[in-house]
Amino acid sequence: MKKILLVSALLLSTFLFSQSEYASVSQLPDYEILKKKMKLEDVVTQADTAPEFPGGMENFKRQFAEKMDIIDVKSKSIDTKVYFIVEKTGYVRSVTATGSDKKHSDAAEAAVRRLFVKWKPAIVNGEPVRYLYTFPLTLKKH
C-alpha cells in the first residue's frame, strides 16, 4: 500500500532536488533557525569539491524517496529545505528541515536520517571540511 501511495504521489507531484550554495552560512535564509539547532563552527557552504553521495545524486534522490514517509498533504504546494552537515569523516550529522508544512518537514528530516551512508566529504585546499548541505524539496500538486 505504501508503494502505491508513493507512486501516486510521484504521478501527482513534481519533486525538485538541488544543492544551493551560499557564500557563507550566515546568508542562508534559515540561518536564525539553524544556528539554534546546529553547531555551525567551521562549516562551509562552498568547497573545491562538493560532498558526494555513493552512486551520485540520482542514487541519493532515489534512496531519499524510498525512505520518505507518505504523508497527507493538504496544501497545493510545499517548499521544504532540508539542511544537514556532511562531516569531515563523510557521515551526516545535524539534520534540520524547515518549511511551511511541519509534517512534510519532519518526514523529509527523518528520510535523511534513515540514510546511514558514508559520503565522500567536501574538500577545500586538499583537506576534508564540514559542509552544510542544503536540499530544497518542492512538491507541487497538479
Domain range for 12? 2-141
Q: Residues with Cβ < 8 Å from 123, sequence gap 6 or more?
A: 47, 48, 49, 129
Biggest distance spanned by C-alpha atoms of the chain: 48
**Is residue 136 over pLDDT 90?**
no
**How many structural domains comprise the chain?**
1
Least confident of 6-15, 85-94, 117-126: 6-15
Q: What pLDDT does 132 receive?
A: 94
Overall pTM surpassing 0.95 (yes/no) = no
The gap between the terminal CA atoms of the chain, to the nearest Å, is 22
d(CA 34, CA 85): 11
CA-nearest of 5, 6, 122, 123 to 64 is 6
d(CA 8, CA 95): 27
Report residue 138's pLDDT band, with 50, 70 and 90 as the boundaries.
confident
Q: What pLDDT does 125 receive?
A: 96
Between the CA of residue 92 and those of 5, 86, 109, 117, 121, what are the distances in Å? 28, 5, 12, 8, 10
**Is residue 55 over pLDDT 70?**
yes
Specify the residue for cell string 535523511. 112
Task: With H, G, I as helix, E, B as strand and everything else as coil, classify residue 84.
Answer: strand
